[in-house]
Amino acid sequence: MRVRAREMGIEIGSMKPGRYNAITDVRGVAVGHSTIIEGEGPLIVGEGPVRAGVTAILPRQAGIYEEKVRAAAYPYNAYGKAVGLLQVMHMGVIETPILLTDTLNTWRVADALIDYMYEVLGVEATSINPVVGETNGSYLNDSVGRHVGKEHVYEALDEAFSPSGTGPVEEGNVGGGTPMSGFEFKGGIGTSSRVTPEFTLGVLVQVNFGRREDLRIDGVPVGKELADVKPRKAQKSGSVIVVVATDLALSSRQLWKVARRAILGVARTGSYGSVHSGDFVIAFSTSEKDVEPLAEGGEDRKQSSSKKHGLDESYLNLVYRATVEATEEAVINALFKAETMIGRDYNTRVAIPLDRVREIMSRYGRL
């Protein structure tokens, strides 16, 4: 049976996860998936086999366009097709759900998101900036066939907008993560969160990166130990999309700094940021509070009489830590929850063998 990292006893970092240990621990954030698994055998472009889907992340369930959330985007290695990020970087807000999918479906998924904004959400505007992230699932999927249609986008969004959207998040071979790989095992969607008295921060990742021998779980070289079950066909390239949500009132400048930290969490699992990767981070704050004045220029602005000299954004250090920890754990969760999948042309990605992981972690003094 597939378990999450924490269920195996692996506790990444020192901070506490939230109720679901998911991005939905951030109040108001919702997630929905649409998963397409159809056909088997040789690839016939346009017919299948299909291993694809869409994952929808809502910064809020109500008034997404009208009450935009403060946001930032960070392209770490921009060999990728993500849509909408330049405007996010410039304006500092997100005004639509965030969708994740398989590379070549990116633009039709963006177009269907526009449909949804008008048809379902009733937005009135002549300008909407859809945000869509992607990784390349063509090892298992008929990617060129572009099988993700408007109906799948609507399904993922409908689920996210439903009451269950704010609950636990399904991981592994679901939604945009359906055909993805991780460290030459099966990858996909993973999530995790961290909670403090002051804030909650959640992360959702779409994992499609990594070479087997580089995999580290909480610092343990699990990948090297599992080199014996390495597939003959190496994972050629690979990308990761990270979405970070928090309820802390951060400015877009601060969210940009937070987004940059997510990559540190990815690094700890064994990423070198490969040449062919499209690694992007999107971070947003659900807070409707005005940004604290110390967000720009530090505590000094408030306490000039105290003649303090530093720029006191020190409280961000804990936010950075939460981001790194939750990202690292979300990546591991994606691997742990993904199940073996056979795709087009019988290409196969096996699930990481959890029994052996348990044994290795134990041998290295971690369990």
Question: Are 123 and 117 contacting, i.e. CB atoms less than 8 angstroms apart?
Answer: yes
CA distance 74 to 283: 8
The CA-atom distances, in angstroms, between 50 and each of 13, 81, 226, 297 are 37, 21, 29, 51
Part in contact with its own copies (CB under 8 A); list of ranges 16-24, 121-129, 158-166, 197-205: 121-129
8-12 contacts at long range (C-beta below 8 A, 24 or more positions apart): 8/336, 8/354, 8/357, 8/358, 8/361, 8/367, 9/361, 9/367, 10/217, 10/218, 10/332, 10/361, 10/366, 10/367, 11/218, 12/192, 12/218, 12/325, 12/328, 12/329, 12/332
Among residues 95 and 170, whose Cβ is nearest to its own copies? 95
Distance in Å, CB of 296 to its own copies, minimum: 6
- Contact status: 221 vs its own copies (CB under 8 A): yes
Report the site for its own copies in 259-288 (rule: CB under 8 A).
Answer: 260-261, 263-264, 267-268, 271-276, 278, 288
Judged by CB under 8 A, the residue of 75, 149, 168, 353 near its own copies is 75
Report the site for its own copies in 133-192 (rule: CB under 8 A).
Answer: 136, 138, 143-144, 146
Type of residue at 344: R
- Identify the DSSP state of 172: B
With vertex at residue 71, the alpha carbon angle to CA 252 and CA 108, rounded to the nearest 5 degrees, is 150
Q: How many residues bind its own copies (CB under 8 A)?
A: 95
Among residues 37 and 109, whose Cβ is nearest to its own copies? 109
Part in contact with its own copies (CB under 8 A); list of ranges 202-210, 240-248, 318-326, 333-341: 318-326
Part in contact with its own copies (CB under 8 A); list of ranges 21-29, 151-159, 291-299, 346-354: 291-299
Distance in Å, CB of 240 to its own copies, minimum: 13
- Contact status: 120 vs its own copies (CB under 8 A): no
Q: Tokens 């961000």 — which residue? A: 316
Distance in Å, CB of 119 to its own copies, minimum: 11
- Contact status: 128 vs its own copies (CB under 8 A): yes
Part in contact with its own copies (CB under 8 A); list of ranges 182-190, 212-220, 240-248, 349-357: 212-220
Distance in Å, CB of 39 to its own copies, minimum: 17
- Contact status: 123 vs its own copies (CB under 8 A): yes
Judged by CB under 8 A, the residue of 51, 147, 216, 337 near its own copies is 216
Secondary structure E strands in 115-187: 131-135, 181-182, 185-186
* Three-state secondary structure string covering 48-103: ECEEEEEEEEECCCCCCCCCCEEEEEEEEEECCCCECHHHHHHHCEECCCEEEEEH
CA distance 109 to 101: 8
- Contact status: 126 vs its own copies (CB under 8 A): yes
- Contact status: 81 vs its own copies (CB under 8 A): yes
Part in contact with its own copies (CB under 8 A); list of ranges 180-188, 191-199, 216-224, 334-342: 216-224
Catalytically active residues are 239, 277, 279
Question: Are 207 and 187 contacting, i.e. CB atoms less than 8 angstroms apart?
Answer: yes
DSSP assignment string, 122-139? ----S----EEEEE--TT
- Contact status: 344 vs its own copies (CB under 8 A): no
Distance in Å, CB of 133 to its own copies, minimum: 11
Among residues 196 and 274, whose Cβ is nearest to its own copies? 274
